[in-house]
Structure 1
């Protein structure tokens, strides 16, 4: 991922890892372990398991425990929207600014900024609802052996 891509990232960092992981699951069509997925998406296995846990709670992936365990895609790629994934991995609240000790003006600033960020998130969700995982995958050239290997 180029530095300009990282600087332009919208949404939680978990979103990109979630999308990459789901693409791998959809491409494989089978159960994959967290270590296999983590190596494919260049993530630490512990972080990946946290992301996959959120996707499992949302019903997007299925988990199988034990020695032969792993993850599989539960929602078909042609139905799963990028908004579904975003909502599954986003933080519960957007606590990006703590103005609790800034007095009344600080609280007003916090409230105004929160309104704008919520509006931005709603616009983002509106856009993401227009793309399924399958449509996203159609933009990728899977013939590169580096991605499949």
Structure 2
């Protein structure tokens, strides 16, 4: 996990996605994945995986090639944190990962997993509803873009 995402609840890529969108919005133009990665303290390869989710969700556009890069498809005031969360949430693993890995669990463990999954699904629904209240503009108002990143 990137140090930029430590302590941020939600899918592991959520914090990186919010950071990347903030830098794209602040730039007002096209940025390479390397430039964004440098600003959000993430490896460019990992960041590109996150950006793929944002492109698929219609939040970001991409142009491949030498003069390519990423830019916002929507205005920052039209992107909610719920949009970002939903774009990256399927990359966080979870209960379905246990089943996909073929874990041989006893009946009690399977029942516990189903109960926990139900609780977590409700928590996720509540989280998404809460995040709908905030836009990238709200987040950007709290950022000092002149501060230098720490190593």
How does the TM-score come out when normalised to structure 2?
A: 0.85
SS of match in other structure, 1:78: helix
Separation in 1, partners of 2:105, 2:134: 41
1:118 is aligned to 2:121: yes
CA RMSD between the two structures: 2.0
1:82 is aligned to 2:81: yes
Q: 5 Å matches for 1:1-149? A: 6=6, 8-91=7-90, 94-95=94-95, 98=98, 100-142=103-145, 144-146=146-148
Unpaired runs of 5+ in structure 2? none
How does the TM-score come out when normalised to structure 1?
A: 0.86
Q: Can you list the C-alpha shifts for 1:20-70, whole angstroms capped at 9, x where unaligned?
A: 000000000000001100111110010000000110011100001110000
Unpaired runs of 5+ in structure 1? none
Separation in 1, partners of 2:144, 2:63: 30
Q: Can you list the C-alpha shifts for 1:122-143, whole angstroms capped at 9, x where unaligned?
A: 111111110010011112233x
- Measured after TM superposition, the shift of residue 145 of structure 1 is 4.0
Q: Can you list the C-alpha shifts for 1:72-110, whole angstroms capped at 9, x where unaligned?
A: 000110110000001001126633773752222121111
* Change beyond 3 A, Cα 1:58–1:39: same
- Number of aligned positions between the proteins: 142
SS of match in other structure, 2:84: helix
Is contact 1:97–1:110 with CA below 8 Å preserved after alignment? no
Worse-matched range after superposition: 87-96 or 27-36: 87-96
